[in-house]
Amino acid sequence: MAAGVAAWLPFARAAAIGWMPVANCPMPIAPRDHRKRHDELIILNVSGRRFQTWRTTLDRYPDTLLGSSEKQFFYDEETKEYFFDRDPDSFRSILNFYRTGKLHYPRYECISAYDEELTFFGIIPEIIGDCCYEEYKDRKRENAERLQDDQDDNKDCKLPNMTYRETMWRAFENPHTSTMALVFYYVTGFFIAISVLTNVIETVPCGATPSQKDMPCGERYTIAFFCMDTACVLIFTVEYLMRLFAAPSRYQFMRSVMSIIDVVAIFPYYIGLVMTDNEDVSGAFVTLRVFRVFRIFKFSRHSQGLRILGYTLKSCASELGFLLFSLTMAIIIFATVMFYAEKGSSSTKFTSIPASFWYTIVTMTTLGYGDMVPKTIAGKIFGSICSLSGVLVIALPVPVIVSNFSRIYHQNQRADKRRAQKVQKARLARIRIAQTGSSCTGFLQSKRNDLLNELLELTGSEEEEQQLNKGMSLLESQHHHLLHCLEKTTAHEFVDEQLYEQNCLETTIQSYTSRSPSFSSQDGPIGTCCTRRGKMNSPLPNSSLPLQPSHQQGSLQELSALHIQCGDKLPHTTSRSSLNMKTDDVGLINCKGSQITTAIISIPTAPSDTTDGGALHGPPQRRPPPPPTGPQAPSINTTASSNVIKVSAL
Amino acid sequence: ISFLYTCTAVLIFPNIDSVEDELELSAVRHRPEGLEQLEALTRFNRKELQILYRGFKNECPSGVVNEDTFKDIYSQFFPQGDASTYAHFLFNAFDTDKDGSVSFEDFVMGLSILLRGSVQEKLNWAFNLYDINKDGYITKEEMLDIMKAIYDMMGKCTYPLLKDDTPRQHVEIFFQKMDKNKDGVVTIDEFIDCCQNDENIMRSMQLFDNVI
């Protein structure tokens, strides 16, 4: 519950009077306000600057320094004020948090100083409001990265006990770490360049000798080029194997783009070695040599700009797709039009629509080779329209790609920002859920505590009772009282998600196995009301009549049952089965003459519960079909939440 | 030429990102009547009015609550369920002059009845709340709407499980109790009569007397 609406709690409670005539049961007693009625001003002296606020404003958040009794440590008796030797500028935001319920992060503030102040005053930074949260997170991440870089630098200076493999991997990834890595980096770069050059020069026609006609150098100096190629491939293979060996996660490394490029670059050579004898496949072998050009992509390890370009293209996939799609549409349209326009003229190059594609593409991209030109007037008109529209169609998506590139370039290695933002959104969602859920779990927890208090009061064990009396602020207790009134009005109780789901499951099972159809109809209005202890469910028709007289009997039995159960087992028990045993025992033992024919109810064992964290685990209530000759035992229907045993007699 | 095109386009492009600033309409402001007048109108003393106003103005700096803010505030007290329908009925009950917003006067007068009024006045107020169309009769449909709104506030995670006809059954019980002449509607006299004879209701009416 936000602090701002704390002021409206009296209103909400007053409005609860609207439920009273509708309720069928008496309402719980309101918590009493023990504290002084009138509000007083508190003076907070932060390094000389005085802030004043109402005491109730600070009391809204009892688990922070200012809201709890911790501030008494800072109370100065002589000046009757609370003195804090902290930064007054940051204190502004902190005090505003109490006033408005929203924590803001001022932009001019240094992130670590702000964090310190928050920690000092006991406020968790996660509750920073939406308006400032992104900024806060960005700054925090930058700070963390800076610290990380510092750490890395320090790490580089000393030689930690890393395995040889880890050193190698680090050398591969960051060439600046050691001279060996740098050398390796440059050597591989050099060989990539050599390899690409040889591929290129292979095809250049060398000088014509008198004996032979012009032929490419590759065929003239076959052996030399073959040796070059072999050397390069050897080096690349060794490099790849070393990287594979050093990679911390080999599977992931093999899937990465760079490794695929490496493989594609060196494979054709080996395939070529294997297949030189087979004449038929030599055609394919030649094609494979094309793949050698992929070696140039290996440069992307060396050049960041190339990586960014590739990343841009990847991230602009949708724009590129759109560009392609719109171009295709336009090409088809214009090609069709040109074909039909030029159909009439003789000796036209526009022999078919696919043939016109070439003209359309050349015109739309404003290349204009001139190998195909329209001759008819209509053709020229449409040709000009085509060229004008080409400019538009291409010019539209291109700036998007360009701006993308520039954006990514400026962000540089902030690809993890995307990841961080996703985590952030998930975290925000989590926090919001926690905040909305917390007030309710708080209510459920306090309910359990109260119940247990009552039970323990019965048995007179006071030690546990004191243990459970957790201090709850008046505001919270009033809020819980309000929720309790609502429960009483509607004769239903708030439960935890898990219990609800369990109940859902159980009722669907029940609906198949239950014998008496009047179960559900009797449930709501008649019985499920009133005191927690005396909860009467009357599943069988003939039991509805003697409702009143059996109530007292039932409650007596319950009290004794409770006594037996709680006296023995403290709430932190995990073995549910023993409780069940007790239940059945008690049920059978206290088999005094009951006027009601009842059904025996057994509780299935629930998995061991966790007592911390407020999670409710409870065995749901299940009604197996009562045995045909039901023994006349008032069975005790026990639903146990983790600490509390609610007992109702039938 | 396409190169020039792209260059100019790139230059223009960053400006497209800027969002047009919209003129914000200034919020409706309202200042309440003086403390003395309010003291005369309600049964709160000065101090209580001061505390109430501070809380009111804190949450609604403009001085009036419109229905959405009202629903927001009220929903924060009932996180598990949906309190908006009931908040709507409450809003109508508080907005006595039907101008679509609850000013501080409306607020404090309503609270004065609820917290400092006689039992008769409180019952009157409750009747007014249930009587959605303010015609002096509570019909079953009106009651059903109210009941559904109340049950909505519980949410779905309840024990025992909420069934679809639980509100209807509750309404039936209510009418059985209240509708003495069985004519299908509950008038204000039947309502007050019946409530005064029910000691549970009488006792719970006094429950919040010391809230402020």
Q: Are B121 and A14 in contact (CB under 8 A)?
A: no
Q: Which among B13, B77, B160 has CB closest to A482?
A: B77
List all residues of chain B from 166 to 195 with a beta carbon under 8 Å from chain A: 166, 169-170, 172-174, 191, 195
- Residue B154's SS3 state is coil
Phi, psi of B59 (to 5 degrees): -80, -30
Residue with tokens 């724009």: A319
Amino acid at A482: L
Residues in A closer than 8 angstroms to B54, CB to CB, are: 7
Q: Which of A225, A191, A179, A185 is nearest to A206 (CA)?
A: A225
- Mean pLDDT for A121-131 is 85
Question: For residue A636, what is the enclosing H or E element?
Answer: strand A636-640
pLDDT of residue A255 exceeding 80, the answer is yes
Q: Which of B96, B87, B49, B50 is nearest to B69 (CA)?
A: B87
Q: Which of A480, A470, A473 is nearest to A443 (CA)?
A: A480
- Mean pLDDT for B19-33 is 57
User: Which residue is closest to A505 within chain B, CA to CA?
Assistant: B161
Q: Which residues contact A239 (CB under 8 A, 6 or more apart)?
A: A188, A262
Percent of chain A with pLDDT over 70: 62
Chain B interface includes A434 (CB < 8 A): no
Residue A175: asked if its preceding bond is cis (omega within 30°), the reply is no
Render pLDDT for A485-527 as a digit per residue (tens, 0 to 9): 888 888 888 777 777 777 778 777 776 665 444 443 433 343 3
pLDDT of residue B118 exceeding 80, the answer is yes
pLDDT of residue A300 exceeding 60, the answer is yes
- Mean pLDDT for B15-23 is 46
Residue with tokens 């560009």: A323
pLDDT of residue A208 exceeding 80, the answer is no
Q: Which residues contact A333 (CB under 8 A, 6 or more apart)?
A: none
Render pLDDT for B100-116 as a digit per residue (tens, 0 to 9): 888 888 888 888 888 88
pLDDT at A49: 92
Choose between A293 and B103: higher pLDDT. Answer: B103
Residues in A closer than 8 angstroms to B59, CB to CB, are: 4-5, 7-8
pLDDT at A585: 40
Chain B interface includes A505 (CB < 8 A): no
pLDDT at B160: 79
- The token pair at A341 is 């326009």
Percent of chain A with pLDDT over 90: 10
Cα angle: A454, vertex A456, A461; to 5 degrees: 145
Cα angle: B47, vertex B48, B52; to 5 degrees: 120
d(Cα A444, Cα B79) in Å, to the nearest integer? 12
pLDDT at A384: 94
Strand partners, A83: A45
- The token pair at A591 is 């088999």
Q: Which residues contact B160 (CB under 8 A, 6 or more apart)?
A: A492, A503, A523, A524, A528
Chain A interface includes B4 (CB < 8 A): no
Out of A200-214, A230-244, A419-433, B20-34, the most confident range is A230-244
Among A5, A17, A528, pick the best mutation site for testing chain B contact (most B Cβ within 10 A). Answer: A17
Band of residue B20 on the pLDDT scale cut at 50, 70, 90: very low
pLDDT at A490: 80
pLDDT of residue A645 exceeding 50, the answer is no
Amino acid at A437: G
Q: Are A67 and A58 in contact (CB under 8 A)?
A: yes
d(Cα B181, Cα A227) in Å, to the nearest integer? 112
Render pLDDT for B145-154 as a digit per residue (tens, 0 to 9): 998 888 888 8
pLDDT at A381: 94
How many beta-carbon contacts under 8 Å exist across A and B? Answer: 194
- The token pair at B22 is 């919209």
Residues in B closer than 8 angstroms to A504, CB to CB, are: 161
Chain B interface includes A327 (CB < 8 A): no
Q: Are A375 and A342 in contact (CB under 8 A)?
A: yes
Q: Which of B151, B162, B178, B169 is nearest to A525 (CA)?
A: B169
Residue with tokens 């050009």: A293
- Mean pLDDT for B41-68 is 82
d(Cα A510, Cα A519) in Å, to the nearest integer? 10
pLDDT at B197: 87
pLDDT of residue A335 exceeding 90, the answer is yes
d(Cα A11, Cα B76) in Å, to the nearest integer? 13
- Mean pLDDT for A134-149 is 82
pLDDT at A553: 41
Lowest mean pLDDT among A356-360, A591-595, B156-160: A591-595
User: What is the gyration radius of the CA atoms in chain B, in angstroms?
Assistant: 24
- Mean pLDDT for A646-650 is 39
Q: Classify residue B21 by its DSSP letter.
A: P
Looking at every residue in chain A, the average pLDDT score rounds to: 71
Q: Are A595 and A549 in contact (CB under 8 A)?
A: yes
Render pLDDT for A612-637 as a digit per residue (tens, 0 to 9): 333 333 343 444 444 444 343 333 33
Q: Which residues contact A424 (CB under 8 A, 6 or more apart)?
A: A133, A134, A137
Q: Are A533 and A452 in contact (CB under 8 A)?
A: no
